[in-house]
């Protein structure tokens, strides 16, 4: 509650400090973003038809008692939000209802991005333009208000984690990361940044205890409703085992491998991911680079780009955190303004086959685009390391 009060207070203070032009853009952008999402509310994706419609109907009909069973493969945090929607908006259509939590998260995420960009630009319109860039980025709009997915929920918590890291609010950062993980395991994409900061003693390793504590608090209501505690504690392992495909339309490394090669490349893919992730952590840890806000953003983007590119069993949606952070990155590194254009466009093109059965560019080529963006960001990172290697410790 204290974290929520501080965050809300920061939002209020931010609005009060805006001039008339900033406030006008913020209000108009918010209204336009709401209108756009309202017009898309009726789209029914295959995921809604196959899964989400059933989930919401069960929660609406059974109430909180539905939490006692494992009818949904997500952690219970997302079903809690669907339950709240069913209580607050009892007469709303299922297809619109399941999109409400994600749509709200879009605006919260955009506000955190605004606050981070405001740290760099104390005056001017760039922070509110960053707010609008998030609201109207194609994959951010499509993921929540068209597709009805919940990637904006955990990604918003990851952006909040980065915000608190920049402010030096360690406990809040760990809590925000725990919230992200309580929504989806894909929050782990930001974990290398936290490991680096712990190794460099920018964060205390003791704060890590907050992450599992947040998850335990999150599953407590479902446990009290009657769900097996063992089931709740092993959800992530269950999710990891459900599929046997190297890639689900993800523009990553596995787009270049032949179909049906899961058994040959799954384990080597995990090993390769672990080795390169550890190498990334070690190289940054051994450097003398200062953990400035731009460097934290650069490290965060590198982490959420590289891991879904290397890991098997990735969906196209798992580049969603990279979509968001690439936009933030462009405001801190304006010379690389084209990075979000590449990343978001690649993600957008990878969404089309599932949503509309439309493949404009083959996935092996899309994977090349994503790799190019990774190499450019990595080059920027390692040039920073080289420039600072002879500098005194920060």
* pLDDT tens by residue, 183-202: 999 999 999 999 999 999 99
Mean pLDDT within 170-188: 97
Mean pLDDT on 375-392: 74
pLDDT bracket for residue 388 (50, 70, 90): very low
Flag whether pLDDT at 394 surpasses 70. no
- pLDDT of residue 124 exceeding 60: yes
Task: Look at residue 74 in the predicted model and tell me its pLDDT.
Answer: 86
Higher pLDDT, 296 or 235: 296
Determine the pLDDT at residue 1. Answer: 57
Which pLDDT does position 5 carry in this prediction?
64
What per-residue confidence (pLDDT) applies to 70?
81
Q: Is the pLDDT of residue 219 over 50?
A: yes
Q: Which residues are paired to 98 by β-bridges?
A: none
19 against 336, higher pLDDT: 336
In this predicted structure, what is the pLDDT of residue 237?
78
- State yes or no: pLDDT of 89 exceeds 90: yes
Q: What is the pLDDT of residue 240?
A: 64
The average confidence (pLDDT) of the chain is 92
Judged against a pLDDT cut of 70, whether residue 242 lies above it is answered with no
Q: What is the mean pLDDT of residues 41-55?
A: 95
* Residue 2, φ and ψ in degrees, nearest 5: -60, -40
Mean pLDDT within 294-310: 97
Residue with the bigger pLDDT between 125 and 289: it is 125
pLDDT at 387 over 60: no
Query: Taking residues 293-312, what's their average pLDDT?
Result: 97
Task: Map the chain to HEC letters.
Answer: CHHHHHHHHHHHHHHHCCCHHHHHHHHHHHHHHHHHHHHCCCCCCHHHHHHHHHHHHHHHHHHHHHHHCCCCCCCCHHHHHHHHHHHHCCCCCHHHHCCHHHHHHHHHHHHHHHHHHHHHCCCCCHHHHHHHHHHHCHHHHHHHHHCCCCHHHHHHHHHHHHHHHHHCCHHHHHHHHHHHHHHCHHHHHHHHHHHHHHHCCCCCHHHHHHHHHHHHHHHHHHHHHCCCHHHHHCHHHHHHHCCCCCEEECCCHHHHCCCCCHHHHHHHHHHHHHHHHHHHHHHHHHCCCCCCHHHHHHHHHHHHHHHHHHCCCEEHHHHHHHHHHHHHHHHHCHHHCHHHHHHHHHHHHHHHHHHHCCCCCCHHHHHHHHHHHHHHHHHHHHHHHHHCCCCCCC
pLDDT at 390 over 50: no
Q: Where is pLDDT greater, at 244 or 334?
A: 334
């Amino acid at each position: 509650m204290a974290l929520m009060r501080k965050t809300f207070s920061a939002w209020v203070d931010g609005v009060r400090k805006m001039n008339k032009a900033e406030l006008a853009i913020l209000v108009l952008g918010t209204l336009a973003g709401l209108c756009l999402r309202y017009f898309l509310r009726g789209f029914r994706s295959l995921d809604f038809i196959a899964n989400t419609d059933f989930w919401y109907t069960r929660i609406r009909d059974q109430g909180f008692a539905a939490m006692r069973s494992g009818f949904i493969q997500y952690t219970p945090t997302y079903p809690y939000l669907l339950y709240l929607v069913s209580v607050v908006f009892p007469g709303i259509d299922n297809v619109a209802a399941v999109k409400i939590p994600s749509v709200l998260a879009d605006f919260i995420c955009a506000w955190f991005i605004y606050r981070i960009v405001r740290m760099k630009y104390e005056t001017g319109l760039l922070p509110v333009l960053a707010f609008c860039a998030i609201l109207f980025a194609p994959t951010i709009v499509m993921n929540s208000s068209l597709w009805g997915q919940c990637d904006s929920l955990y990604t918003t918590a990851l952006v909040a984690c980065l915000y608190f890291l920049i402010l030096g609010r360690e406990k809040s950062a760990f809590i925000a990361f725990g919230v992200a993980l309580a929504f989806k395991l894909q929050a782990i994409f930001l974990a290398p940044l936290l490991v680096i900061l712990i190794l460099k003693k920018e964060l205390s390793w003791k704060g890590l205890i907050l992450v599992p504590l947040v998850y335990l608090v999150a599953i407590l209501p479902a446990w009290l409703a009657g769900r097996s505690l063992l089931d709740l504690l092993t959800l992530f392992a269950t999710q990891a085992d459900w599929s046997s495909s190297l890639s689900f339309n993800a523009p990553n490394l596995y787009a270049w491998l032949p179909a049906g090669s899961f058994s040959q490349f799954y384990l080597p893919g995990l090993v390769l991911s672990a080795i390169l992730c550890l190498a990334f952590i070690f190289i940054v840890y051994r450097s003398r680079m200062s953990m400035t806000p731009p460097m934290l953003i650069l490290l965060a983007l590198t982490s959420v780009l590289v891991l879904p590119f290397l890991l098997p069993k990735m969906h196209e949606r798992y580049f969603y955190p990279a979509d968001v952070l690439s936009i933030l990155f462009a405001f801190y590194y304006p010379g690389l303004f084209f990075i979000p254009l590449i990343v978001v466009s690649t993600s957008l093109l990878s969404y089309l086959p599932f949503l509309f059965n439309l493949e404009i560019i083959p996935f092996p080529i899309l994977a090349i685009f994503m790799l190019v963006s990774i190499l450019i960001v990595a080059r920027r990172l390692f040039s920073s390391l080289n420039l600072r290697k002879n500098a005194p410790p920060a």
